[in-house]
A and B are shown apart, each in its own frame.
Chain A
Amino acid sequence: MPDVSRPIPKPDVYVPSKPFWDGARAGKLMLQFCKDTNRFQHYPRPVSIYTGSRNLEWREVSGKGQIYACTIVRVPGPGLEGRLPLSVATVKLDEGVRLMANVIGSDPEDVKIGCRVALAWDHLDGDTPYPAFRLI
């Protein structure tokens, strides 16, 4: 558990997102899926970015992927208390979609582009898991 609790986002402020948060509590990474094109998209949108239709649903992804880009945030900011230096990466999931996420459980200097990663769970507070990744 983290020493400092971070802001807990309200779901559904942009588009309906409860499946993402419910999934996280069940240990599953749920992302939005376009049924017309059989492709995922992230973050969720009000329509498919591929077709413009609302023929969307939420599906679980494997959480396996590869580091596409990575940085180490070293400057303080809101929600960063006690977290610096912080490994931030763009992860390309095997399902063909990218997320920005933290890589936890290793020295940020060891995170490199091309590294394989698996889903891990960070915690915004005592009972709000948030998806992150770990090196494998």
Chain B
Amino acid sequence: MTPADVVIAGYSETKVVFRSGRSAYDFAGEAFASLLERTGVAKNEIDGLSVTLALSEAGNPFFAVYMADALGLTPTWLNAGAIGGCSATGGVARAAAGIRDGMCRIAVVLSADAPSTSWRANYGAYRSEFQDPPGVQGPPATFGLLMSRYQHQYGLAPEALGKIAITQRAHALANPNALDKFKKPLTMDEYMASRMIADPLRVLDCVMFCDGANAFLVMGEDEARSRGLNKMARPKAYAEVTNFAGNESCPDITQSGFWKIAPNLYRQAGMTPQDIKMFQPYDDFTIAVLMQMEAFGFCERGKGSDYVLKTDLSYRGALPLNTGGGQISAGQPGLASGGLNLAEAVRQMFGEAEKRQIEKPATALVTGIGVIPYGRNWGTSAAMILEAANA
């Protein structure tokens, strides 16, 4: 549980770029320098660092140490974020614990990756013998399987997934950091006509690997106020679970770890789904968004399609959804992806979302997903509820 006295007091994010030709270190440097400039914090005051492990630097088990070196930092608390898209929210929660335990005072949670320029990851394990031979190398096949099962159990309207893609695309149009390629509106006809890649998964249900970075400044609330950092996002609750149903051979794959952590999350925050003013869920695939709407109680289990079709998910709507376009429409900066959803939540709370600004951004639910395992849904599920704490 994240104590209420630790806050996110600053954020920064680079533009998402496809095949930039740049490294994760270079993107990290851009996000880091911007964070210092935006908050006025001096580099030498930073004594905590959380670094998300990157696909593009995956061969280096000392990536976090090399990152500290690259940035000229001397942290007394260092965390390597090894839960993929959960590493940003997870990094903030761990940094809060590090601050609470006195291991550091001011931490930077940094995620940078450039897999569209350099892919160095090899997941190893059982994959070469048991997953690759049937042709399940990439996430799309696994998500095609997951969607087929969901559709079988509950019914799935392609128009609902299309609406998620279209809504997020509209949001990306107002996000200067979104990938340029996605800066055009999407119609339902285009979505429905988009090519099947692993039935019933369409290409427009998926993210595209890109390059990019984001960074968050985490410190005690008093510390932030004393520095005149009066825009703050307070983590009210955090929960994660890895390898949900890991001791079962035949679990219901339409039930993810989010079902386990959601009640705990709301209890920690003292909130209900009705208290959530914006939903910034991890969106590697549209079905993951829809399934999370159910797990977090915005609608009943299995009713995601109906809920999406009848709900205004725009930034002006009843449940503003991935108001920066999410990863599907802003581009997925590799494993820095989870920070993209988090950066948008913080940006909204700071009132800096310009043309897509939510009127009352008092609370946000941000989630993360890490790794696609063998024949299930996803490996790590993480979620954070934030509360705006602006002075």
Chain A positions within 8 Å of B, measured between CB atoms, are: 6-7, 9-11, 13-14, 17, 20, 39-44, 49-50, 68-75, 77-80, 83, 86, 88-90, 92, 96-102, 113-114, 124, 130, 132
Q: Is B134 an interface residue (CB 8 A)?
A: yes
Interface CB pairs A-B, < 8 A, 28: A6-B133, A10-B128, A13-B124, A20-B129, A41-B249, A42-B130, A42-B249, A43-B374, A49-B247, A49-B248, A69-B146, A69-B375, A70-B145, A72-B198, A73-B141, A75-B140, A77-B138, A78-B132, A79-B132, A88-B134, A88-B144, A88-B198, A90-B149, A90-B375, A98-B375, A100-B375, A113-B149, A132-B134
Give 13 A-B pairs besides A40-B249, A96-B249 with Cβ atoms closer than 8 angstroms: A10-B128, A43-B126, A49-B246, A69-B146, A69-B253, A71-B200, A72-B144, A73-B141, A73-B198, A88-B134, A88-B136, A90-B145, A97-B250
Q: Is B20 an interface residue (CB 8 A)?
A: no
Q: Which of B133, B196, B246 has the most chain A CB atoms inside 10 A of its CB?
A: B133
> Which residue of A has the minimal Cβ distance to B132?
A79
User: Which of A9, A39, A97, A113 is the one whose CB lies under 8 Å from B128?
Assistant: A9
| B148 CB contacts on chain A under 8 angstroms | 69-71, 113
B131 touches A100 (CB 8 A): yes
Q: Is B222 an interface residue (CB 8 A)?
A: no
Write out, one digit per residue, whether chain B residues 366-390 have a CB within 8 A of any chain A CB (1) or not (0). 0000000011000000000000000
> Which residue of A has the minimal Cβ distance to B200?
A71
Q: Is B199 an interface residue (CB 8 A)?
A: yes
| B250 CB contacts on chain A under 8 angstroms | 68, 92, 96-98
A14 touches B129 (CB 8 A): yes
Q: Is B152 an interface residue (CB 8 A)?
A: yes
| B198 CB contacts on chain A under 8 angstroms | 71-75, 88
Measured CB to CB, the closest approach of chain B to A14, in angstroms, equals: 5
> Which residue of A has the minimal Cβ distance to B131?
A100
Interface size on B, residues (CB 8 A): 38
> Which residue of A has the minimal Cβ distance to B133?
A130
B197 touches A74 (CB 8 A): yes
Given contacts A70-B148, A72-B144, contact A79 B129 (CB under 8 A): no
| B248 CB contacts on chain A under 8 angstroms | 49
| A71 CB contacts on chain B under 8 angstroms | 141, 144-145, 147-148, 198-201
- Among B140-175, those with CB < 8 Å from A are 140-141, 144-149, 152
A90 to B136, CA, bound (A): 11
> Which residue of A has the minimal Cβ distance to B128?
A9
A80 to B131, CA, bound (A): 13
| A78 CB contacts on chain B under 8 angstroms | 132, 137
A53 to B136, CA, bound (A): 29
Q: Is B125 an interface residue (CB 8 A)?
A: yes
| A74 CB contacts on chain B under 8 angstroms | 195-199
Q: Is B135 an interface residue (CB 8 A)?
A: yes
A98 touches B196 (CB 8 A): no
Measured CB to CB, the closest approach of chain A to B194, in angstroms, equals: 12
B132 touches A9 (CB 8 A): yes
A11 to B146, CA, bound (A): 28
User: Which of B135, B149, B249 is the one whose CB lies under 8 Å from A69?
Assistant: B149
User: Which of B128, B135, B145, B201 is the one whose CB lies under 8 Å from A77?
Assistant: B135
A80 touches B135 (CB 8 A): yes
Lowest 8 A-B CB distances belong to which pairs?
A71-B144, A69-B149, A69-B145, A43-B130, A43-B126, A9-B129, A9-B128, A72-B199
User: Which of A10, A50, A77, A88 is the one whose CB lies under 8 Å from B247?
Assistant: A50
A97 touches B136 (CB 8 A): no
Given contacts A98-B249, A100-B145, A113-B149, contact A43 B137 (CB under 8 A): no
B129 touches A43 (CB 8 A): yes
| A97 CB contacts on chain B under 8 angstroms | 249-250
User: Which of B124, B129, B135, B197 is the one whose CB lies under 8 Å from A88?
Assistant: B135
User: Which of B126, B149, B246 is the one whose CB lies under 8 Å from A14?
Assistant: B126
Q: Which of A17, A39, A72 has the most chain B CB atoms inside 10 A of its CB?
A: A72
B133 touches A79 (CB 8 A): yes
| A41 CB contacts on chain B under 8 angstroms | 249
| A68 CB contacts on chain B under 8 angstroms | 149, 250
> Which residue of A has the minimal Cβ distance to B251?
A98
B152 touches A113 (CB 8 A): yes
Measured CB to CB, the closest approach of chain B to A90, in angstroms, equals: 5
